[in-house]
Structure 1
Amino acid sequence: MAREFYHPGLRGVIAGETDICSLDDGLRYRGYCIYDLTQGASFLEVAYLLLFEQLPTEERLADFLGLVADEATIPQQLAQVLDLIPLHAGPLEALRTGISLLAHFDPQTADPPGDSGAGQAVRLLARLPLLLAHFARTPQSPPNGRRGTSARANGGPARTNGHPAADDQRQDRTRGGLRFDPSTSYAHNLFRLLQRRLPTDLEEHALETVLILAAEQEFTPSSFSARLAGSTQADIYSAVQAALSTFIGARHGGAERSVQEVFLELRDPADAASWVAERITAGEKIPGFGHPVFSDCDPRAAILEPLCCRLAAARNAQAWEDVAEAVEHAVWERQRLPPNIDWPLGRLLTYLGFARELHPALFACARVVGWCAHAVEQAESGESIRPRARYRGVERAEFAPLWTRDL
């Protein structure tokens, strides 16, 4: 019998080769240090790097921005379906539905992903913010459990058939409000689409930084799902669907939600040490700490922390920063675990004014670039991913006809 290699969870297993991202020397995208990218590049420059394997020139970046702007539109039929999504569904689920429908309007889905993947990635990059903004702006309707017939809880205008408010709001989403402005950055557009106001310079820089940091991180569960789909030569939409469905899980894209609950529960920094001690004694993990690869320091968290401090000062939200610092100290004293990206990310997005339920979806709008890059790379390699399983069930069961089986 051949030697058996068994690694539950595949933690630490080298499952493939990639040119996209490295975690061995901090975090690098195609060889470029993540700190340098956040300080000197825009998100679209980084997206171009991940998709086309090199940083763009000024001319190529202008062409790329124009292409994204040209593709930033969603079919009216798709918008109507988003209006019918039930109230209990969240933004990530809405994105999953929207991506599935977008595939039907793409003429290249039958082409090999190695040939059409980059073009489809650009379309997704352009359209995901519009899908998210349309879903977030659609008023909710408690009576029938669907969106689109009454005002949101925040007092937005009612939307009923034949009512002027309905027509005005629909025009805002499909003509004016949901429009990509090529004269501004991707982060500026995303902020404006979701917040319905223009960002300050600090807000735009902070969101740009988040998008760059969120774009890629090697073989995460969602990226590996994209590679699995790519190995079968599935189209990019299918690969992104697989990745997003994996990302929705509470232990992946949902991890940041648990971090936010810490700040809802713990209000006084003086209580942080006892709060941390109680949870560790109970065998619970402190959300937002530790990383399977970055054991000493998550470079993404280190980049976001100063931005959190600046935004907290601008928002008069120093109380959260005081709690965060106290929890970090308590966790380090007891477990020697550094914060991961989820720890500052939730605070930063809250300071930017984004509702909690939008946080994972914002992350996905950036990570779609990495998912597409992984799916294309795996498809072009020609290698199929087909692991084995160790069977642990009954070895030899005797079959009995139906009428002789005894409960």
Structure 2
Amino acid sequence: MSTDHHAGLEDIEVLESAICDINQKGLTFRGYDITELAAHSTFEETAYLLLNDQLPSQKELNDFRRELAAEYILPREITEHINHVPREAHPMAVLRTLISSLGLYDADAADNSGPALHRKSVRILAKIPAIVAAIARHRNAKSHVESNVDLSIAGNFLYCLTGKLPDAETERLLETTMILYAEHELNASTFAARITAATQADTYSCMVAAVSALQGNLHGGANQRATEMLLTIGSPANVPEYLAAKLKKKEIIMGFGHRVYKSGDPRVPVLRSLCKALSEKKNEKQIFDTAAAVEAEMLKQKKLHANVDYYSGLAYYLLGFSAEIYTCIFAMARAAGYLAHISEQLDENKLIRPRGVYTGKKGLKYQPLGSR
């Protein structure tokens, strides 16, 4: 087999972007360090930054929040659609389908002009959290909770999910994870969005492509799998035996390693600290200690660092979310990055069409059907 190509496009720079910078020193959104944004920003402010290439003034942020809140309410057809979805269907499959359906009720769906892209971005950012909450409630045979326009995106998601106004600490914890998840350069799902945008497909088609890629176990689905692993292990004492058995079979340990970060994911320390504090508050210290033990053992044995999925899944578990919606929460945060990339792709568009290295047979002669 030829080795003149790069499997998985590893380390190949396929386009220029001003949205996100990943390097061994850290991660920045539009020039701002992710740890500063996570510590001081809100999700709305971070989304505004990604979409507009600058942090908002107070007036701009207030206007943006009002725009978002005005779009929280789901079309009646979408809530009715949710009621007819099989309860056992995977939430990511349902989310993918409903994002596609949203486009049917958006008059701007096929309009890729700047103003229309902005309006669609606001609608998508506002409505995905309400959809995710509605999916989760439907799975548990609970009635739909209408959005509260006085709340932030994170707050409204929690309200629609539980039917109760969230406390400030829980809202901030969720918001912090959403900021950390909001954007991450040309990951598989973002690249899928840009490839689709490059064909001049509508924004909803681009979002469906992205969410479809995100569902995979080697991408967004890793956070759910990592948390399920920790629950299976049970306690720090069981870590050596569990890992030994898995590694002997050459099985993947979810939540470890990263294609770009070789010295550790800069988002992990923030999440690890949040999880530690939350585990102590929730009297769930054993699962955090198990996570820390797995992390230490993987670094020792395989020289692999934990990535953002490892501790975000644990954070969502500690916040009381059902494991099946972890990746949906990832999607509602990463939507900000997807939309920024879709817009950037369309600004100076060129169809993305790489080549493959052919490894099949050559020179065969066609044989009539009767002689085969």
Q: TM-score, normalised by structure 1?
A: 0.87
State the aligned residue count. 370
The residue identity in structure 2 corresponding to 1:185 is S
Instruction: Identify if the C-alpha distance between structure 1 residues 225 and 348 changes in structure 2 by more than 3 Å, giving closer, same or farther.
Output: same
Partners of 1:276 and 1:134 in 2: CA distance: 37
Deviation at 1:271, TM superposition (A): 2.2
Tell me which amino acid in the other structure corresponds to 2:136: A
Q: Is 2:154 the counterpart of 1:190?
A: no
Q: Which moved more, 1:257-266 or 1:339-348?
A: 257-266
Q: 1 CA distance for matches of 2:119 and 2:15?
A: 25
Deviates more, 1:57-66 or 1:228-237: 228-237
Distance 1:113 1:360, change over 3 A: farther
Determine the structure 1 residue equivalent to 2:95.
95
1:161 aligned residue: none
1:116 aligns with 2:116: yes
Aligned mates of 2:250, 2:113 — CA distance in 1? 45
Hey, what does 2:275 align to over in structure 1?
Answer: 308
Alignment correspondent of 2:75: 75
Aligned residue identity for 2:294: V
1:22 partnered with 2:21: yes
Distance in 1, Cα, partners of 2:257 & 2:280: 27
Q: Distance in 2 between matches of 1:109 and 1:323?
A: 46
Aligned to 1:131: 131
Which of 370, 379, 396 aligns to 2:346? It is 379
The residue correspondences of 1:277-356 to structure 2 (distance < 5 A) are 277-356=244-323
Q: Which of 1 and 2 has greater Rg? A: 1
1:181 aligns with 2:149: yes
Question: What 5-or-longer segments of structure 1 have no aligned partner?
Answer: 141-151, 157-168
Q: What is the alpha-carbon distance in structure 1 between the residues aligned to residue 134 and residue 241 of structure 2?
A: 43
Pick which of 362-371 and 285-294 moved more.
285-294
Amino acid at match of 2:112: P
Q: Equivalent residue of 1:23, what SS?
A: strand
Structure 2 alignment gaps of length 5 or more: none
Moved more, 232-241 or 108-117: 108-117
Distance 1:258 1:139, change over 3 A: closer
Moved more, 217-226 or 297-306: 297-306
Identity of aligned residues (%): 36
TM-superposition CA deviations, 1:117-156 (whole Å, max 9, x none): 222111001111121222222266xxxxxxxxxxx3xxx6
Q: Counterpart of 1:134 in structure 2: which amino acid?
A: A
Contact 2:222 2:310 in 1 (8 A): no
What pairs up with 1:257-272 in 2 under 5 angstroms?
A: 257-272=224-239
Partner residue of 1:55?
55
**Contact 2:91 2:135 survives alignment (8 Å):** yes
Q: Aligned residue for 2:242?
A: 275
Q: Residue 357 in 1 paired to residue 356 in 2?
A: no
Alpha-carbon distance change, 64 to 331 in structure 1, aligned in 2, over 3 angstroms: same
Give 1:388's match in structure 2, choosing from 336, 355, 364: 355
Q: CA RMSD in A?
A: 1.7
Asked whether the 8 Å contact 1:22–1:29 carries over to 2, the reply is: yes
Q: Does 1:401 align with 2:352?
A: no
Distance 1:250 1:366 in 2: 18
Q: For the residues of structure 1 that align with 2:40 and 2:89, how far apart are their CA atoms?
A: 38
Equivalent residue for 1:39? 39
Asked if 1 retains the 8 angstrom alpha-carbon contact of 2:72 and 2:149, the reply is no
> What is the CA distance between 1:113 and its match in structure 2?
5.2
Question: Structure 2: how far apart are the matches of 1:79 and 1:202?
Answer: 29
Change (3 A) 1:389 1:134: same
TM-score calculated relative to the size of structure 2: 0.95
- 1:113–1:235 Cα contact (<8 Å) kept: no
Bigger mean CA deviation after superposition, 73-82 or 338-347: 73-82
Deviation at residue 287 of structure 1 after TM alignment: 1.6
Taking the TM superposition and a 5 Å limit, the aligned residue runs for 1:147-186 are 152=141, 169=143, 173=144, 177-182=145-150, 184-186=151-153
Equivalent-residue separation in structure 1 for 2:148 and 2:187 (angstroms): 30
SS of the equivalent of 1:27 reads: strand
Give the aligned partner of residue 9 of structure 1: 8
Q: Which moved more, 1:194-203 or 1:239-248?
A: 194-203
Alignment map for 1:246-261 (pairs within 5 Å): 246-261=213-228
SS in 2 for 1:6: coil
Rate the CA distance shift 1:13–1:260 in 2: closer, same or farther, 3 A. same
Query: Is the 8 Å Cα contact of residues 113 and 379 (structure 1) preserved in structure 2?
Result: no
Return closer, same or farther for 1:256/1:113 CA change in 2, 3 Å cut-off. Answer: farther
Which whole-Å deviations, capped at 9, do the CAs of 1:298-318 have from their partners, x for residues lacking one? 111111111101111111001
* Partner secondary structure for residue 299 of structure 1: coil
